[in-house]
C-alpha cells in the first residue's frame, strides 16, 4: 500500500496508513527484538569490521579478552578463589538435595563455569548449582525413577533433563523468546524462593538430627510427619554439632551485614565448616557415634556422559516437564540476579545472550556429568563483593575445582552430613524475604496474593504446582485487566484548563451536558461489551447526580494503543445506542494503530469524520457550542 | 485508611489514597457489576416498591405483562405462528444432527420457550435448538456412548449434558460471570459458525443422496471419504427431490433479501417442504424407491426425564466437557444475537439476565426430555421480521408445539429425510459469512487468523478443538499485548502546541535534548523489562539520528491505568540506569491507581517529587530551562 497524502480534519490525521509489511515488521521487532541488538553491528561500514562485531556480539569473550590486563586478573583471581571455596560445600550439599552422588555437584562447578566465561554477558555472575532447582528436578524425576532403588536410571534421567534444559534455554535465547521469562513476576519468584527455603530447611532436620529415615515428599506436612514418626532416630551428638555450625554460619552472615568489608569471613565460613567438621569427625571417630559422612569420593575430572542421555518414551514426558520448568525457573532467577548486579555496577547485561550462555553451559554440562547450573544468588553476591572484574572469575573457579577433583576429592569424603545441612539451612534463611512480602502487601494486594500462592503452594502442595499456580494467577491478573481496563471521567481543573480524572483531582469540575470519558487500553473483544455498559452507566449516574441531561459523550482515546474488530463493532453499537438516546458521540485523539483500523473498517465513514478531534479542548468547545445553539434559553447562563 | 489532605507538587496530586475497602469494592464492581444493576431498585424509597422492583428485575415477565395489551398480542400471535412453523422442521432436523429421536427436537420447542417467556429479557429472541451445538454435543457424547448401539444411555447422557449446561449457565448469570463469555470474540464465532456450516452441509449429502452408511466423524476429510466409499448407495430419486427442495428454499431466501416484506414466504418454506414432501412420498410410495422417512412418531407432550439424569463416574468428565463447552458457546451466540436485535430496535437486553434465562430453560428442559436450546439466529430473525413485540411469541410457539405434539405428531412420520437435509443445507449456507472474513482480513490480520483457525480447526480437526484453538489465540493476542503494550515518541505540533505521536503526525517536531515517550498501559511484570529496553532504544536512536545528546527523558503516564510491584521495581531500575548516563527522568500525569502504588512503594520518595508533573508542557519547559542553565554556550541558539 502506498502512503497516501495526509488528510486532516479537526487536526486529526485521517489518512496515514502504514503498509502491511511495515506493521508486521514493527510488531515483530517490538515482540522479539525490543533492544535492537544488531544496530551496532549494522552501523559498521566495513564488512570485515561487521564480521568482527558480529562474532563479538555472539561470543562476548572476544569483546572483553583483548582488553584484559594483569591488574584485572589479580582482582578476578581473589574473587575466583573465594567462590571456589563456596562451590565445594555447595556443590556437595545441593547434589544431595537432588539425590545425586556428591561428585556430580563438584563436576557441575567445573565445565559450566568455563562455558559461561566464553558466552556470558555479565561480569558478576558466578556459575553453580542452585538449591531450589535441585529440589525441583529431584521431586519431578523421582516420580518415575527411584533414586535409591534405580540410581543409574535416575542419574541418566537427570543428565537428560539437563540436556533438555540446555536445548530449551539456548533456543529461547536464539529465537529471542525472553518474552516467556517475562511472565515470571518478581512476586512469583519471591514467594517461590521463600516456600522452597522453608521446605529445604525442614528437610535439613534429617541431617542435623542425624536421622536415617525420612519423608521423600517435599511438602511441610509430609516433612514434619517424617521427623515426628522417626523421632527415635535423633542423635544428640549430631544435633549439637549441627547447632554449633549453624550458629557460626549465622554469626558470619550477620558480621557481613554489619561490616560489608568482612564479606570474606562469611564467604569462607562454609568451607571452614566442612574442613573443621571433617577433621573433627576423623579425630573423634564420629562415624561410631552416629555422625554420618559423605563417604567415598573418586579422584578425577568429569567423565563423559553423552552416551547416558535416554529418550525412552516411558520417561520422556516427565523429563521434558522437569527440564522445561527448571529451565524457565533458573533462567528467570539467574537473569534477574545478573541484571540487578549489572544495574548496581553499571556494567553490561543482555537477557537474550544470558539465555544462550545458560543454555550452552547446561548442554555441555549434560555431556560431561553435570546437572542443572545457573547463577545462584549467594555465589554471585560473594563474587561481586570480592571485587570480580570479568567472567574470568568463573575460569579461576573451574581451575580450582579441577585441581580439587584431580587431587583433593578423597579428602572431602570425611565431611559430616550435618555440616552440609547447616550450610544449606544458613543459606536458605537468607532467602525467606518476609520484608518483601510485607512490602507487597502494602503496595499491591494482588501481587501479595501471587507471592503467597507460590509460597504456600510450594510449602504445602508441591514445588511445580505452587509455581504454576502463581504464574497462572499472574496471567489471570493480566486477563482481568484485559477484560476490564479502567476508564475514568475527566473534569476541567480550575486554573490550568487541563482535563483530569475527577476522582483523582477533587477540584476538577464537569461540564454540564457534556460527559468526558478517558477510555482504558486496549479495547479488545474481551472488554468491548464492558466498555459499552460502562459508558451507559456513566451517563446514568451523571444524569442522576447532576440532574443535567447528557447530550454529548466525548471518548478520549489518547490512552488506547490497540483495538480489534470486535471492539470496533462494539463502538459502533455504542454510537447507535447513544444516537437513539439523542446523545452525540465524539472521539478525541485516536492513535496510529487505532486510526488505521477505524479507517479500514469504515468506522470513520459511518460515524462521520466531524466526530473526530485531535484536542479535547476543541471537542468540548464544539459540544458547548452545539448545546448553546440547540437550546438558547436554557443553557445560556450555565455555559 | 483515612483520606489525608491533598498535597500537590507541580499540580500532581501526591497524596490522595483510597482505602483498601474502597479499592476492593470498586474493583469488584467493575469486574462483575459493570452495568450497576441494582441502582434502579435501590433508588426506590419505599421498601414495598423496592421488593416489587426487585422481583421485576429478576423475573422480567412481571415487568412487561402488566402493560401487555390485546393489540400487542395480535402481533405476537402472527410472529409466534411463523416461528412455530419453522420450529417443527428445525426441531426434527437438528435432533437428527444430535443423533436423537425426532420427538426430542419437538419437545425442545415446548418447555424451554415457556421458561424463557418468564425469565428472558429480550423481546425478539425465539427459543429453539441450534445446529452447531447439536452437532458439537453429539460429537463429544458419542465418544463414550454409541447412539446406535446404546440409544438409551446416549439419550440419558444428552439429558445430563443439558442439565449441566443449565446449571452452568444459570450460575454464570447469577454470579455475574458474563466476563467468561466476553472471551468469545466476534471473529471466533464467525469462524466457528462457518466451519460448522461447512461440515453440516457435507453431512447432509447423506440425506440428499439417500445413503444408508456414512462417516460418524465430523471433519471434512472423513465426511468426503464417507461419501466416496459409499457412493454405490446414491439414489437418484432422492437426489432429484433434494435438489428441488434446495432450489425452492434458496429461491425464497433470495426473495426475502430482495423484498424484505415477503419474509413470510421464506419463513414458511421449510414447513412447506415438509408437508409437500410428506404428501408426495405417501402418494408415490416413496419408501419403496429408496426415499427414507422420519418414521413412527408418538403422540403426547414431553415425558418427565429427571429420573434419567446419570452422574456415573465413567461418563461424568465427558458430559461435563460437552455441557460446559456447548453452554458457553450457545450463550455467546445467543447473547450476541439478542443484543444485535435489541440495538437495532432500541429495546432492552441484559446479558446476565439472559444467562439466567438460558440456564433455567435448559435446566427445566433437562427435566422434561428436551436437549440444549438457545436463541438460533434464523428463528430470531424471522421472529423480528414477523413483528414480534414481546416474549409472548415464545408462549404462542410453545402452545402450537403442544397442540402438534398432542394431535399432529404422527402426520410428520412421513416426512422424507431429504427434505430435512435440504432445510439444514439451506440454513447453513446463510451462516458461511465470507464477506465478514474478508472484512476481518482487511481490518485486522490477527482477527482474521483467529477466525480462520476456528473455521479450519472445526472443518479439518474437530469442533471442540477448533473452538478452543481460536479462543486460545484470542487470549494469546491479549497476552502479547500485555507483554508489549505499544509506546510512542511524542513531538510538538507546530501550530497548536499539542504533543502527538511523531510517527502518526509527520509535522510533529522533537525537542533537542529532550525525549518524550508516551508509555502504553498497563505496566506489569510481563512488560517491565521490555519498557526499560524500549526506553534505552529510543535514547540510542534519538542520539544517532539527531546527534543531540538526550539529557531528559519524559515519560507520559496518562495512558497507564494500572501498574504492579515488579513494574515499579523496573521503573526504579530504569531511573538508576538513566541517572548513570547523566539523563534525568520526569514523569507526567500518573493516574490514580498508579500514583497510589508509587506512593505506597516509596517510589516518589526515592525519585523525588520534583520529577512529577501534571502537564507535559510544564515538564518540557522545566527540561528546557535546565538544559539552558547547564550549558549556556552550546544550547542558547537551539532552544
Span B74-122, pLDDT tens digits: 889 988 988 888 888 889 889 988 999 999 999 999 999 999 999 998 9
Chain A residues close to B484, C-beta within 8 Å: 30-31, 34, 179
Give B545 or A322, the one with higher predicted confidence. Answer: A322
Q: What is the pLDDT of residue B638?
A: 44
Nearest chain B residue to A26 by CA distance is B486
Q: Which three cell numbers stand for residue A503?
A: 476522582
pLDDT tens digits along A393-404:
999 999 999 999
Strongest mean pLDDT among A133-147, A217-231, B8-22, B33-47: A133-147
**Which range among A26-30, B16-20, B385-389, B513-517 has the greatest average pLDDT?**
B513-517
Cβ contact, residue pair A503, B540, below 8 Å: no
Please answer yes or no on whether A506 and B6 come within 8 Å at the CB atom.
yes
> B635 pLDDT band (50/70/90 cuts)?
very low
DSSP, collapsed to helix, strand or coil, labels residue B345 as helix
Residue among B179, B477, B577 minimizing CB distance to A483? B179
Asked if residue B534 and residue B451 are part of one domain, the reply reads no
**Residue among A341, A380, A335 nearest A353 (CA):** A335
Helix, strand or coil, per DSSP, at residue B551: coil
Is the dihedral angle over the CA atoms A42, A45, A48, A53 positive or is it negative?
negative
- Contact across the interface for B482 and A480, Cβ inside 8 Å: no
Same domain for B397 and B499, yes or no, is no
pLDDT in tens, B125-154: 999 999 889 989 998 999 999 999 999 999
- Co-location of B444 and B500 in the same domain: no
Does the pLDDT at position B293 exceed 60? yes
B497, B589: one domain: yes
- Do A469 and A514 share a domain, yes or no? no
CA angle A442, A448, A453 (to 5 degrees): 160
Which residues of chain A are modeled with pLDDT < 50?
Answer: 1-5, 634-639
Q: For residue A549, give the CATH number of its domain.
A: 3.30.750.24
Tell me which chain B residues have a C-beta less than 8 angstroms from the C-beta of A530. Answer: 34, 182
Angle CA(B261)–CA(B265)–CA(B270) in degrees, nearest 5?
145
Contacts of B39 in chain A (CB under 8 A): 540-541
- CB burial class (10 A; 0-12, 13-18, 19+) of residue B601? buried
Q: Which of B13, B36, B573 sits opposite A343 (nearest CB)?
A: B573
Amino acid A7: pLDDT: 65
| pTM as predicted | 0.85
In contact, A52 and A63? CB cutoff 8 Å:
no
In B377-504, which ranges are continuous DSSP H helix? 377-385, 392-403, 417-429, 434-443, 445-456, 463-483
Q: How far is B419 from chain A (nearest CA, A)?
A: 37
The set of long-range contacts for B38-43, using a CB threshold of 8 Å and a minimum separation of 24, is B39/A540, B39/A541, B43/A544
Calculate ∠ Cα A96-A394-A331, nearest 5°: 65
Q: Is B182 in contact with A483 (Cβ distance < 8 A)?
A: yes
Does the distance separating the beta carbons of A439 and B496 come in below 8 Å? no
In this prediction the ipTM stands at 0.85
The CA distance from B326 to B97, in Å, is 15
- Residue A6's pLDDT is 58
B178 has a pLDDT exceeding 90: no
**Residue after which a domain boundary falls, among B438, B454, B478:** B478
> Quick check: is B25 in a domain?
no
What percent of chain A is predicted at pLDDT more than 90?
40
Query: How many domains does one find in chain B?
Result: 2
Shared-domain flag, residues A422 and A363: yes
Q: How far is B49 from chain A (nearest CA, A)?
A: 19
B502 falls within a domain:
yes
Residues B447 and B502 in one domain: no
Binary contact (A503, B558; C-beta < 8 A):
no
Across the interface, whether the CB atoms of A561 and B504 are under 8 A apart is answered no
User: Cβ contact (<8 Å) for B566 and A30?
Assistant: no
CA B230 vs CA A434, B211, B226, B233, B417: distances in Å = 71, 7, 6, 6, 18
Name the 3-class secondary structure at A636: coil
A438 burial type by CB count under 10 A (0-12 exposed, 13-18 middle, 19+ buried)? exposed
Specify whether A506 is located in the same domain as A416: no
Over 90: is that where the pLDDT of B229 sits?
no
Strands (E), B321-370: none
Q: What is the DSSP string of A323-390?
A: HHHHHHHHHHHHHHHHHHHHHHHT----HHHHHHHHHHHHHHHHHTT----B--HHHHHHHHHTT--S
Residues 6 or more apart whose CB falls under 8 angstroms from that of A399 comprise A80
Q: Which of A518, A510, A584 is nearest to A552 (CA)?
A: A584
Q: What distance in Å separates the CA atoms of residue B297 and residue B148, rounded to the nearest whole number?
A: 18
B349 CB-near residues (< 8 Å, 6+ apart): B121, B122, B338, B339, B342, B343
- Taking the CA of residue A609 and the nearest CA in chain B, the distance in Å comes to 17
- Are B564 and A477 an interchain contact pair (Cβ–Cβ within 8 Å)? yes
- Is A44 a domain residue? no
The SS3 assignment for B372 reads coil
Task: Answer whether B187's CB lies under 8 Å from A566's CB.
Answer: yes
| Contact yes or no for B91/B341 (Cβ under 8 A) | no
Q: What's residue B452's pLDDT?
A: 95
For B486, the closest of A35, A183, A593 (CB atoms) is A593
B561·A486 Cβ contact <8 A: yes
Res B415: pLDDT: 86
Say yes or no to pLDDT of B540 above 60.
Answer: yes
**pLDDT (0 to 100) of residue A449:** 95
How far B253 CA lies from chain A's nearest CA (Å)? 26
The torsion angles phi and psi of B431, rounded to 5 degrees, stand at -95, -10
Residues of chain B contacting residue A484, judged by C-beta atoms under 8 Å apart: 30-31, 34, 179
> Phi/psi at A293 (nearest 5 deg)?
-120, 170
pLDDT at B461 over 50: yes
Residue B426 CA to residue B248 CA, distance in Å, equals 10
Q: Does A43 reside within a domain?
A: no
Query: Is residue A25 in some structural domain?
Result: no
What lies within 8 Å, CB to CB, of A95 at 6+ separation is A101, A102, A103, A104, A105, A106, A108, A129, A134, A371
Which of A437, A457, A478 delimits the end of a domain? A478
**Looking at residue A636, what is its pLDDT?**
44
Tell me the per-residue pLDDT of B416-425, one tens digit each, with 9 for 90 and over: 888 888 888 8
Residues of chain B with pLDDT > 90: what percent?
A: 41
Q: Which of B187, B443, B446 sits opposite A601 (nearest CB)?
A: B443
Quote the pLDDT of residue A343: 76
How high is the pLDDT of residue A215? Answer: 72
Task: Answer yes or no: do B325 and B448 share one domain.
Answer: yes
Flag if A541 and B36 touch (Cβ within 8 Å).
yes
Task: Rank A226-235, B329-338, B461-470, B606-615 by mean pLDDT and report only the highest.
Answer: B606-615
| Residues B100 and B130 grouped into a single domain | yes
Residue A37: inside a domain:
no
Q: Is the pLDDT of residue B2 over 50?
A: no
In a domain, B589, yes or no: yes
Give chain B positions within 8 Å (CB) of A534: 30, 34
Residue A558 is nearest to which of B179, B443, B558, comparing CB atoms? B558
Q: Is residue B55 part of a domain?
A: no
Mean pLDDT score, B460-465: 85
Rg over CA atoms, chain A: 31
| Sign for the pseudo-dihedral over CA of B296, B302, B303, B304 | positive
Higher pLDDT, A201 or B637: A201
Strand pairing class (B552-556; B514-518): parallel
Handedness of CA A168, A170, A175, A176 (dihedral sign): positive
A contacts of B532 (beta carbons < 8 Å)? none
Q: Do A577 and B521 touch (CB under 8 A)?
A: no
Q: Which three cell numbers stand for residue B214?
A: 456414512
* CB distance B442 to B114 below 8 Å: no
- Indicate the residue of B486, B562, B615 with minimum beta-carbon distance to A561: B486
Q: Are residues A502 and A415 both part of a single domain?
A: no
Instruction: With beta carbons under 8 A apart, name residues in chain B contacting A182.
Output: 483, 525-530
Examine the fold and report which residue of B414, B446, B478 is the final residue of a domain before the chain moves on.
B478
What is the torsional sign of CA A495, A500, A503, A505? negative
Nearest-angstrom CA–CA distance, B201 and B401: 27
Length of chain B: 639
- More reliable by pLDDT, B333 or A638: B333
Residues B251 and B300 in one domain: yes
- How many A-B residue pairs are in contact by the CB < 8 A criterion? 259
Domain span at residue B109 reads 69-478
Q: Are A61 and A357 in contact (CB under 8 A)?
A: no
Instruction: Please determine, for residue B634, whether its predicted confidence score (pLDDT) is greater than 60.
Output: no
Residues in A touching B186 (Cβ below 8 Å): 525, 565-566, 569
Kindly report the nearest CA distance between residue A122 and chain B, in angstroms. Answer: 16
Burial class (CB in 10 A: 0-12, 13-18, 19+), A557: buried
pLDDT, residue A237, reads 83
- Residues 6 or more apart whose CB falls under 8 angstroms from that of B409 comprise B103, B106, B297, B298, B299, B300
Q: How far, in Å, CA of B405 to CA of B393, rounded?
A: 18
Amino acid at each position: 500500500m502506498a502512503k497516501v497524502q495526509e488528510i486532516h480534519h479537526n487536526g486529526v490525521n485521517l489518512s496515514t496508513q502504514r503498509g502491511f509489511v511495515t506493521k508486521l515488521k514493527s510488531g515483530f521487532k517490538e515482540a522479539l527484538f525490543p533492544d535492537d541488538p544488531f544496530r551496532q553491528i549494522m552501523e559498521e561500514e566495513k564488512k570485515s569490521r561487521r564480521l568482527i562485531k558480529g562474532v563479538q556480539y555472539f561470543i562476548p569473550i572476544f569483546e572483553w579478552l583483548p582488553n584484559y590486563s594483569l591488574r584485572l586478573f589479580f582482582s578476578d583471581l581473589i574473587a575466583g578463589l573465594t567462590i571456589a571455596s563456596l562451590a565445594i560445600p555447595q556443590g556437595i550439599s545441593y547434589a544431595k538435595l537432588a539425590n545425586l552422588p556428591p561428585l556430580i555437584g563438584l563436576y557441575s562447578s567445573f565445565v559450566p563455569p568455563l562455558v559461561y566465561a566464553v558466552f556470558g554477558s555479565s561480569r558478576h555472575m558466578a556459575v553453580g548449582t542452585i538449591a531450589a532447582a535441585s529440589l525441583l528436578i529431584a521431586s519431578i524425576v523421582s516420580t518415575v525413577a527411584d533414586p535409591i532403588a534405580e540410581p543409574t536410571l535416575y542419574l541418566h534421567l537427570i543428565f537428560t533433563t539437563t540436556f533438555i534444559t540446555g536445548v530449551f534455554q539456548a533456543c529461547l535465547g536464539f529465537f529471542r523468546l525472553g518474552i516467556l521469562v517475562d511472565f515470571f513476576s518478581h512476586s512469583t519468584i519471591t514467594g517461590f524462593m521463600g516456600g522452597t527455603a522453608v521446605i529445604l530447611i525442614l528437610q535439613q532436620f534429617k541431617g542435623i538430627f542425624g536421622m536415617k529415615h525420612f519423608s521423600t515428599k517435599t511438602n511441610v506436612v509430609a516433612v514434619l510427619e517424617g521427623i515426628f514418626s522417626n523421632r527415635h532416630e535423633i542423635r544428640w551428638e549430631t544435633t549439637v554439632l549441627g547447632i554449633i555450625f549453624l550458629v557460626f554460619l549465622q554469626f558470619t552472615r550477620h558480621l557481613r551485614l554489619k561490616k560489608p568489608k568482612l564479606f570474606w569471613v562469611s564467604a569462607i565460613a562454609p568451607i571452614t565448616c566442612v574442613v573443621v567438621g571433617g577433621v573433627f569427625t576423623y579425630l573423634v571417630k564420629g562415624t561410631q557415634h552416629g555422625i554420618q559422612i559423605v563417604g567415598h569420593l573418586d579422584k578425577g575430572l568429569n567423565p563423559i556422559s553423552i552416551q547416558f542421555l535416554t529418550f525412552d518414551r516411558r520417561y520422556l514426558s516427565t523429563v521434558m516437564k522437569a527440564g522445561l520448568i527448571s529451565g524457565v525457573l533458573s533462567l528467570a532467577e539467574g537473569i534477574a540476579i545478573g541484571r540487578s548486579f549489572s544495574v548496581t555496577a553499571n556494567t553490561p547485561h543482555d537477557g537474550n545472550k544470558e539465555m544462550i550462555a545458560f543454555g550452552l553451559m547446561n548442554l555441555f554440562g549434560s555431556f560431561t556429568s553435570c546437572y542443572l547450573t545457573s547463577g545462584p544468588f549467594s555465589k554471585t553476591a560473594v563474587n561481586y563483593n570480592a571485587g570480580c572484574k570479568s567472567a574470568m572469575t568463573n575460569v579461576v573457579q573451574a581451575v580450582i575445582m579441577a585441581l580439587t577433583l584431580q587431587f583433593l576429592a578423597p579428602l572431602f569424603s570425611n565431611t559430616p552430613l550435618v555440616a552440609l545441612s547447616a550450610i544449606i539451612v544458613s543459606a536458605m534463611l537468607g532467602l525467606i524475604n518476609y520484608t518483601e512480602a510485607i512490602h507487597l502487601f502494602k503496595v499491591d494486594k494482588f501481587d501479595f496474593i501471587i507471592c503467597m500462592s507460590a509460597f504456600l503452594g510450594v510449602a504445602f502442595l508441591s514445588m511445580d504446582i505452587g509455581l504454576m499456580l502463581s504464574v497462572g494467577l499472574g496471567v489471570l491478573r493480566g486477563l482481568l485487566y484485559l477484560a476490564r481496563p479502567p476508564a475514568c471521567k475527566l473534569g476541567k481543573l480550575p486554573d490550568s484548563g487541563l482535563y483530569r480524572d475527577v476522582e483523582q483531582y477533587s477540584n476538577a469540575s464537569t461540564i454540564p451536558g457534556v460527559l468526558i470519558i478517558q477510555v482504558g487500553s486496549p479495547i479488545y473483544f474481551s472488554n468491548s461489551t464492558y466498555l459499552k455498559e460502562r459508558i451507559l452507566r456513566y451517563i446514568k449516574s451523571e444524569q442522576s447526580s447532576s440532574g443535567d441531561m447528557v447530550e454529548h459523550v466525548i471518548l478520549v482515546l489518547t490512552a488506547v494503543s490497540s483495538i480489534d474488530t470486535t471492539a470496533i463493532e462494539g463502538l459502533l453499537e455504542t454510537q447507535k445506542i447513544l444516537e437513539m438516546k439523542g446523545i452525540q458521540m465524539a472521539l478525541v485523539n485516536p492513535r496510529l494503530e487505532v486510526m488505521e483500523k477505524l479507517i479500514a473498517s469504515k468506522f470513520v465513514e459511518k460515524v462521520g469524520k466531524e466526530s473526530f478531534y485531535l484536542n479535547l479542548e476543541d471537542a468540548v468547545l464544539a459540544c458547548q457550542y452545539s448545546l448553546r445553539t440547540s437550546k438558547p434559553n436554557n443553557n445560556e447562563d450555565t455555559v
